Amino acid sequence: MAANAASVNVASVNVTSVDVAAEAGVSQATVARTFSSPHMVSEATRQRVHDAAQQLGYVPNAIARSLKSQRTNIVGAVVPAYGEYWQSVVTEFSRRLTERSRQLLLFSFSEADQVESMLRAVQQYRLDGLVLASAAIEYDQLSSMAATSMPLVAFNQPAAAGVVNSVSVDNELGMSEVADHVADLGCRSAVFVGGLSATSTDRVRFGAASARLQHHGIACRYVEAGAFSYEAGYKTGCHLAGDLVGSASDESERPDAVIVAGDELALGVVDGLKSYGVDVPGDVVLTGFDGLPQAAWDGYDLTTIVQPIPLLVAEAVDILLPSDTKLKNSTKPVERVVPGVLRPGRTTRP
């Protein structure tokens, strides 16, 4: 009847393992063990402790646990704030980490110059691992992070391979397949639309595409959109439209293939071209790279290289949290390269 007879108190003040110990008539150590290594506690006391904890509304303090155990169960990720691709990567990381009882601490930046201070913040939290997913990270920042004891993995950041652990889609292979595909269609001249030429991803993809195209005797010009966004692609598409159907340029030199460095960018280019009356794939064929869900949507059905994001992420997580007993303490950085898969779509099909 009395109001204070509530069976479950909510923690009005901070309830600690000491309080629970007193309530259960055991030592603090036993309470700690009950929650962190239950198998070391007898069935009977475990029950008593749980009851007492329930009674008092006790929840173990992860901060204190981390301080003592030197493990946070948290993995950090430094990722660009914008872009469909990065959003799906973050989502997949979070999902995967949850599966392995870890959480994701997100450090997202919109400007490259934020990365520096962000990395400093990262180091304050003693994370169990860190994903670096930005092409904007400088080499010396990378190596300075590598010197930390924090497990690191660079995600889709070609320039980082060899310096730190890295996981990446096979850009060379992917772009080669694209080039072959385009050559098979009988194209004679191509334009490569890049996002930011300063990023290693951009350089590597253009390099691979143009090399393979050249092997087929196809020239390939580079155009920089300025970002990997839809908007940047749209603008570029509008600019390109003139070159592609304009009567000014020589028919024989007129590009008949547009190879775009990323899907979001590609979707913008498609729409930009269409807005100027350029028909895809009628006037030009067009390809993307990444395999975003949106690229597969019926409205676009873009020909692209599908990155196996779940696989890439799984690899990255495995590097950070080696599950196997074979904990790799090798001095060499791990380097995993995973192939993507060409998904032909309407943008290259007559």
* 344 scored as a contact of DNA (CB under 7 A): no
Q: Which does 189 bind (CB under 5 to 8 A by kind): a copy of itself, DNA, none?
A: none
Of residues 327-346, which lie at the interface with a copy of itself (CB under 8 A)? none
How many residues are present in the chain?
350
What's the rounded Cα separation, in Å, for the pair 112 and 157?
A: 15
Question: What tokens were used for 232?
Answer: 């940047």
Which residue type, as a one-letter code, is found at position 137?
Answer: I
* 108 scored as a contact of DNA (CB under 7 A): no
Q: Please, are residues 29 and 45 in contact by the beta-carbon 8 Å criterion?
A: no
Q: Which residues of 26-54 are buried (b: 16+ CB within 10 A; e: fewer)?
A: beeebbbbbbeeeeebeeebbebbbebbe
* 341 scored as a contact of DNA (CB under 7 A): no
* 121 scored as a contact of a copy of itself (CB under 8 A): yes
Question: What tokens were used for 350?
Answer: 């007559």
Q: List own/partner pairs for 210-218 with CB under 8 A and 24 or more apart.
A: 212/175, 212/176, 212/179, 212/180, 213/179, 213/182, 213/183, 215/179, 216/179, 216/180, 216/183, 218/179, 218/182, 218/183, 218/187, 218/188, 218/189, 218/190, 218/257
* 275 scored as a contact of DNA (CB under 7 A): no
Decide whether 174 or 345 has the Cβ nearer to a copy of itself. 345
Using CB under 7 A, pick the residue from 14, 247, 252, 330 that binds DNA: 14
What's the rounded Cα separation, in Å, for the pair 338 and 336?
A: 6
Q: Which does 45 bind (CB under 5 to 8 A by kind): DNA, a copy of itself, none?
A: DNA
Residue window 286-315: x/- pattern of binding to a copy of itself, with contact defined by CB under 8 A? -------xx--xxxx---------------
Q: Please, are residues 195 and 232 in contact by the beta-carbon 8 Å criterion?
A: yes
Number of residues that bind a copy of itself (CB under 8 A): 58
Of residues 36-65, which lie at the interface with DNA (CB under 7 A)? 36-37, 39-42, 44-46, 58, 60-61, 64-65
* 162 scored as a contact of DNA (CB under 7 A): no
* 205 scored as a contact of DNA (CB under 7 A): no
* 117 scored as a contact of DNA (CB under 7 A): no
* 26 scored as a contact of DNA (CB under 7 A): yes
Q: Which residues contact 132 (CB under 8 A, 6 or more apart)?
A: 78, 142, 145, 152, 153, 154, 155, 157, 160, 164
What does the binding site for a copy of itself look like in residue numbers (CB under 8 A)?
A: 10-12, 59-67, 72, 74, 81-82, 87-88, 90-91, 94-95, 98, 103-110, 114, 118, 120-121, 123-126, 144, 147-149, 230, 234, 267-268, 270-272, 274-275, 293-294, 297-300
What does the binding site for DNA look like in residue numbers (CB under 7 A)?
A: 14, 16-18, 25-30, 32-33, 35-37, 39-42, 44-46, 58, 60-61, 64-65, 67-70
